[in-house]
Structure 1
Amino acid sequence: MKFSENWLRQHVPTTASHDELVATLTAIGLEVEEVTRLGDSLDGVVVAQILSAAKHPEADRLQVCQVDAGNGEIVQIVCGAPNARAGLKAPLAKVGAVLPGGMQIKPAKLRGVESFGMLCSAKELATDSDASGLLELPADAVVGLPMAELLGLPDASIEIKLTPNRADCFGVRGIAFDVAAASGGEVAAFDIAPVPAASEARLAIELNAGADAPRYCGRVIEGIDTTVATPLWMAERLRRSGVRPVSLLVDITQYVMLELGQPMHAFDRDLLAGPVGVRRARAGETLKLLDGREVKLDGQFLAVTDADRPVALAGVMGGFDSRVTDASRNVFLESAHFAPDAIIGRSRKIGLHTDAAHRFERGVDPELPRVAIEYATRLILDACGGVPGPVVEAALPEHLPQPQPIVLRRARLARVLGLDVADAKVERILRALGLAVEAHVDGWQVTAPGRRFDIAIEEDLIEEIARIHGYDTIPTTLPTGASRLVAPSEERVDEGSVRRQLAARDYLEAINYAFVDAGLLEAWGATEGAVKLANPLSAELGIMRTRLLPGLVVALGRNAARQQSRVRLFELGNVFTAVAEAAPLHTLRVAAVACGDAVAEQWGVAEREVGFHDIKGDLESLAALSGAALEYRPSQSGGVAAWAHPGRCAEVLRIDTEGVAVHLGWIGQLHPRLLQALEIDTDVVAFELDLAPLLVRPLPNAASQSKYPSVRRDLAFVLPETVAWRDVAASVRAAAGPVLRDLVLFDRYQGKGVESGCKSLAMGLILQEESRTLTDSDVDTVVAAVTAKLQHDHTAVIRG
């Protein structure tokens, strides 16, 4: 936000010097980024009028001008400005004057003709960058008047850096409240008397956007002379605020926005049929904007319509076909309140950044539209005449923001700031900021004005007191040391242990963005449940990740493309899944990828490419942290089939204490087709698991060891090759019961003596009782039960 210092002082009279004012702005959180001093060296520069302009006898581009410098003084000036002409009033630097750039004006002779002074451009006076010609002054400017007095100089152009929550300071008057609170002054009254209607000219207004556009004011003004130049005082304030004057009506709407913070727009009334309305745009509608570009609209945009035809992009920019030109004589002024949520990101979506959108996105006072339209009407009538119609206002009161009272407790204020602020000072600060204050026994009830969207809770009020009272007045205190120590839960392994374990297994941790390119997820076939961002940083980061592996594999590919043949990366992070009519679901996961050699290059171990069992061992080491028993089942068709190598991947499950299998994730080798699409020319093995179920650790229970000896029986069974060991083990445990202490598979055989399509599994059953020594008959009973169970469940037979 850039503004004129003199303009600010008009709203908040203060005796503070320029340097003190700048320091105060920064101290209260309105950081001053740049200051440009204006008009400090304009002594000897006056308003002058060119009486005659004759061609220089020796130079085609020069003119010899006779100039009235006031008080009857006529001086001869040789001038090369293309707009120098008889009757023009322009600045004259007299002999002896020193211009802001350091140029000293002396008598001179140019091509044989004497010149006693210099007619100046705005750039030479350091009030603007325009050097195309002389600064043309108003016809009513008094000849001989010092230019500093005419232009309201000296002055300074101050640019401040605003945080996104301080939308109220996008108007000079909003800044004035902060300065008044910090300097102990008061903001000058700003009473705009309503301009009475002088005609019945009006346009009906319809609101069809609900809470997105709860207030819209409009006014028809007829008989305006739009060719009138913008008043010099207004043009100068606009220039010092970083806005180049364009035309009277545009400049007035800009001026009102800079002073009050309320964006406005002017339409050519004769190009509107009425009624004027606000609604959501429809898919496929197009609109030609003021800058000439044509944009395609959809349901995310708000459109200002004329007879249901879009004529402006609400809160962003007006339309080309209804714009005001020098030929316009009748205008329709618009001043509205649009909800921030309806404007945020809309201008960026079409590649624009406008002052109006910048303000509406952050929040504009919903009570300002009528004040702004009355103010703009008065400025228009004073500058170029016209006949105003009545102000027509449409409002949806139920959707207008209503400031809510906030309780500020005296004790809470003192505790947070660490010092006692006198009640009188608290009340003075809050009232100077424009807040309504009502004292209570324990503190105050405070209601913020509509322009302060950033004040909603007690802490916001405490922050206001802190920054105005002065951060440097808050004492520095050390913590008391009475910190509360929380012991980590024994029922869960901490995430730091997971990171350390994988780092110990020779992995490097990677941190990727939580948002990715939609095309990447499509390549993985992982777009189901994806959450799209409404306002992405870029098109390549427009969707929340549904898995960790896509980003992790891209990182692996970048490393592999840079001559890193052996890459091992892991990541802990959230993935996101859309939930109907609710916030996206966050799931914490762990993933790891590896390619290249199984071990780093060395002389003691032969080279071998990393494979499934290597990364399975790394995963088992993680499971060992919590004592989890993992189970691996071949991946079925569908699900991960789009990115998993068929036959070289498995689903990972954890078997809980009750024998229930909990699905964790996936492990295996990536599909060659996917690697080719990602331009990775090496095999990659990986796993990705939900982390929370993996970290659950059952509390150990103390139990006495049996004092009776255990008995081991080794059995070998022949059974179909398709039967998995996990199923055999489950049957053995079910048949043996609690007497089985351990089960060991120590041999798997296929070949001579075992028929084709079968295999032999040899296992050891370790049996033990708590209260007695097992007898041979006890053991034989268990063996018989196991044999019968395996024969029933898997057609297994004892191997002869």
Structure 2
Amino acid sequence: MKFSEQWLREWVELGVDTEDLAAQLTMAGLEVDAIEAVAGQFSGVVVAQIISAEPHPDAEKLQVCQVSDGAETLQIVCGAANARPGIKVPLAKIGAVLPGDFKIKKAKLRGVESFGMLCAEQELGLAEQSDGLFELPADAPVGECVRSYLDLNDSVIELGLTPNRADCLSIRGVAREAAVLNDMPFVDHGSASVPVTTDDIFPIDIQAWDDCPRYVGRVIRNVDVSQPSPLWLQQKLKRAGLRSIDAVVDVTNFVMLELGQPMHAFDLAKLDGGIVVRKASAGESLALLDGQTIELKEGSLVIADQSKPLALAGIMGGEASSVTDTTADLFLEAAFFAPAMIAGRARSYGLHTDSSHRFERGVDYQLPVRAMERATALITEICGGEVGPAVEVDGDTLPVPPRILLREQRIEKVLGMALLPKDVETILTGLGMAVERCEHGWQVVPPSWRFDIAIEVDLLEELARIYGYNKLPVRPVRSDLQIKAAPESRRPLTKVRQQLLSRGYQELITYSFIDPAVQAEFDDRSAVALRNPISSDMAVMRTSLMPGLIKAAQHNSKRQQSRLRFFESGLRFVAGESSTAQTPVLAGLITGRRHPENWSADGELVDFYDLKGDIESLLSHSGKPLSFSPAQNKGLHPGQCAEVLLDGDVVGVIGALHPSLQRKFDFANPVYLFEITVDAVAIQREISFRELSKFPEVRRDLSVLVDRQVPAQAVLDTVRGTAGAYLVNLKLFDIYQGKGIDPERKSLALGLTFRESSRTLNEEEVNQSVEAVVLRLKEAFGATLRN
């Protein structure tokens, strides 16, 4: 937001200089990005009129001009192409000083004397470049100082506004802030109603009430569009970064800058039947004012007539209905568009305009009528015309300001100091809020232009920034904190993360949005598609965290990082019939060497059992039986994939990346992944003490032969269920297949440890347990003891 400091001071008579004003605005949250002088430093330049212009006798591109400064006629040699009799231009007389400390002296150019210099805008520091002399209006008073005539003792202030402060995208809004910061009353410059001189109206039909709850239109007939904008209007626009186009467009731009209400003017003769505010239909197109033609997206809000779209609502008008030199009758519009409707719409068409910038942040919904009167008054003052009645069409979807309770005690608690009630009321009423004293504080209703104020803390922030952040006490916040009981049955995710970090993993945070093609490689379930994706490769919500880990691993492996251990915790999103299930899960990935490269370790690569060991470590805290069952999972190796079962319930999956995907993602080494629910790793058995046994243990080792297809887990479960209460430990310490045994069978070596806490077990008791185990294994799996 750029604005002229003089324009601001027309609204509020401030007693501070430019630097202090900038400091005040910055400390109040309206950061001043830059302050620039409107013109360079110069003196001795006056308004002059060229009386005659004759060719230079010895130079083809020079002219000898006779110039009047109101007191005398001077001879000036000039090379500007637009130097001609009758125009008024700036004249730097002998002794004048131009920007850059350039002093004007009497000179002789190709033998002809010159007693001064006719100036272009660039030479006065008014523009970076210019093509010819700076032509002043025909009514410019000859002899007057150019600095005073153009009000050049001015500065342009540029604000870097946060998106919530759309109310300060206008002179009126900034003036209100400046007034309350300087403890001054803000006098709002009202817009008087313009006398209606014709009964002509143009029908208005709103079909999209949710998107456009208010629309105001007016007919103005017999305007003279050829009339130029006044110099003061052109200068205000220029200092705000806008160029002058014609009187009507200049007025609508001026009202937008002054009040914050974007407006648009249509050529009434080019409209058919009446205005219709509606959604665009498929296949419609619109030629915009900037020359490009766009295909309207179905559902976009447009301003149309009975036969065609006229404008992209709140963004840009159409060329076909624009005001031109031949325009005689106008239809002027001002509307309130819901910010949610405009947000992102301009960007979807590759556009960004002053109107969309304001509407998508929120424009005062009470402003259209006032802006209409202000614009009408200016247009008729400049261009004349007959004014029709302002037609206002309102729906029942206009915003309703909240009623907020501001507690007096809360002010002191949050700000660290108490404010006097009169100061609270002065600040809030100065910002345009309705304030009513109540038992515990104040009932506050924010004004229609403050969309960012909804709850009590918003009011506290307003008090702090207007009172002055630098005035608030600097002291620690003190409060009585209650330590919440931590249930022993739940393990916080922070401890799970710490455990994985201690095992050599690194934590990742990846996007919840992923590429649909990558998603399809890992899951057949339908993914939730985004309506407005950032890019095509971030178009759906993830149903698994594995694709994100794979992409991160691919990125690292292409940068010579071969040993990787990653984990991530986050949500996966699975679409259901009525809603989307959001499940917190923990996922991990390993690939590369088992140990970091060093002199004492070999280069052995990780395998399935390295990752299985990590899962067993994570879930050992639950105290519940953990098992793994062969499974099929898209994206994982069909022969190296298993479900993770905790107490018989499936809580996750573990496996090797499918060979085809390993080739596709160009991994040199096998990749192993897991994904389990956060609820499973959060389970923690309650800690209890059990006295250590004073009696010795007895160990028996068994080597049994079973079919190759029999899972070792099934054998271990059977042993545990048969050995009896004395079994305290069971280990599978060897698996053998090869020479000396049947190729269709395998040898499992089991270590069984027995102990009783109250006495020493005898040989007969241990042998009975072992015999029972051998018999049960024979019955269940056809197992035999290996010789």
Please tell me the residue identity of whatever aligns with 2:397. Answer: H
- Identify the residue that residue 607 of structure 1 maps to in structure 2: 603
Choose from 632, 653, 662 the match for 2:650.
662
Distance 1:583 1:412 in 2: 39
Which residue of the partner structure matches residue 634 of structure 1?
630
Q: What CA distance in whole angstroms lies between the structure 1 residues aligned with 2:593 and 2:743?
A: 36
> Of 554, 575, 583, which residue of structure 2 is paired with 1:557?
554
Counterparts in 2 of 1:218-617, with a 5 A limit? 218-307=217-306, 309-396=308-395, 398-480=396-478, 483-485=481-483, 489-525=487-523, 528-532=526-530, 534=532, 536=534, 538-564=535-561, 566-577=562-573, 586-617=582-613
SS in 2 for 1:195: coil
What does residue 643 of structure 2 align with?
Answer: 651
AA of the residue aligned to 1:418:
G
> Given residue 617 of structure 2, which amino acid in structure 1 is its aligned partner?
S
Cα distance in 2 for residues equivalent to 1:351 and 1:581: 35
> In 1, Cα distance between the equivalents of 2:387 and 2:775?
102
> Deviations 1:233-279 (Å, cap 9, x if unpaired)?
01101111111222222221111111111111122222210322222
Aligned residue number for residue 666 of structure 2? 679
CA distance 1:52–1:341, change in 2 (3 Å): same
Q: Please say if residues 40 and 124 of structure 2, whose CA atoms lie closer than 8 Å, have aligned partners that are also in contact.
A: no
The Cα shift of 1:489 comes to 4.5
Which residue does the alignment assign to 2:159? 160
What residue is the counterpart of 2:16 in the other structure?
16
Contact 1:526 1:546 in 2 (8 A): no
Deviations 1:628-684 (A, max 9, x none): 653222222xxx32x21221222223x2xxx332322x3222123223332334432
**Preserved CA contact (<8 Å) 2:316 2:355:** yes
Q: State the SS of the aligned residue for 2:97.
A: coil
Q: Residues 491-536 of structure 1: CA distance to partner in whole angstroms, max 9, x if unpaired?
A: 3334444444334433344443444444443454577334526362
Alpha-carbon spacing, 1:617–1:740, altered in 2? closer, same or farther (3 Å): closer
1:27-42 equivalent positions in 2, closer than 5 A? 27-39=27-39, 41-42=41-42
Which sections of structure 1, spanning at least 5 residues, go unmatched? none
- The letter for the 2-side match of 1:651 is E
- The structure-2 alpha-carbon separation of the partners of 1:596 and 1:440, relative to structure 1 and needing over 3 Å to count, comes to closer
CA distance in 2, matches of 1:593, 1:316: 47
After superposition, give the CA deviation of every residue in 1:198-225 in whole Å (9 maximum; x if it has no partner).
2233222222223221111112222222
CA contact (8 A) 2:643 2:650 kept: no
Q: State whether residues 343 and 360 of structure 2, in contact with CA within 8 Å, keep that contact through their aligned partners in structure 1.
A: yes
Distance 1:129 1:411, change over 3 A: same
For the 8 Å contact 1:229–1:247, the answer to whether it is kept is yes
| Cα distance between partner residues in 1 of 2:21 and 2:348 | 38
Q: Please list the CA deviations of residues 172-228 of structure 1 after superposition, one character each: whole Å capped at 9, or x if unmatched.
A: 100111100011112233221122332233222222223221111112222222222
Equivalent-residue separation in structure 2 for 1:530 and 1:674 (angstroms): 23
- Do the aligned residues in 2 keep the contact of 1:180 with 1:433 (CA within 8 Å)? no
Q: 1:20-61: CA deviations, max 9, x gaps? A: 222221221211111112357454322222222222222222
Aligned 8 A contact 1:33 1:159 in 2 = yes
Deviation at 1:457, TM superposition (A): 1.3
Change in Cα spacing, 1:563 to 1:791, as seen in structure 2 (3 Å) is closer
Compute the displacement of 1:757 (Å): 4.5
Change (3 A) 1:524 1:74: farther
Bigger Cα displacement from structure 2, 124-133 vs 344-353: 124-133
User: Cα distance 1:250–1:629, how it changes in 2: closer, same or farther (>3 A)?
Assistant: farther
CA RMSD between the two structures: 3.2
8 Å CA contact 1:571, 1:590 repeated in 2: yes
Q: Deviations over 1:330-367 (max 9, x none)?
A: 22212111111111111112222211111111111111
Q: 1:599 offset after TM fit, Å?
A: 2.6
> Greater CA deviation, 133-142 or 763-772?
763-772
* Structure 2 residue matching 1:62: 3-state secondary structure: strand
Name whichever of 215-224 and 575-584 sits farther off.
575-584
**Residue equivalent to 1:61:** 61
| TM-score normalized with structure 1 length | 0.90
2:710 aligned to which of 723, 735, 757: 723
Evaluate the alpha carbon distance shift between residue 584 and residue 57 of structure 1 in structure 2; reply closer, same or farther with a 3 A threshold.
farther
What TM-score do the two structures reach when normalised by structure 2?
A: 0.91
Secondary structure of the 2:59 match is coil
Residue in structure 1 matched with residue 49 of structure 2 by the alignment: 49
Task: Return closer, same or farther for 1:209/1:787 CA change in 2, 3 Å cut-off.
Answer: farther
* Percent identical: 45
The superposition leaves residues 303-338 of structure 1 with CA deviations (integer Å, 9 ceiling, x where unpaired) of: 222226322111111122222222222222121111
Question: Match of 2:651, as an amino acid?
Answer: H
Cα pair 2:528 2:575 within 8 Å, conserved: no
Q: Match of 1:180?
A: 179
* Of 255-264 and 548-557, the range deviating more from structure 2: 548-557
Whole-angstrom CA distance in 1 between matches of 2:84 and 2:578: 71
Task: Please tell me the residue identity of whatever aligns with 1:103.
Answer: F
SS state of the match for residue 200, structure 1?
Answer: coil
State the one-letter code of the partner of 2:607. Answer: G
For these two proteins, the number of residue pairs brought into alignment is 787
Unmatched segments (≥5 aa) in structure 2: none
Change (3 A) 1:154 1:581: farther
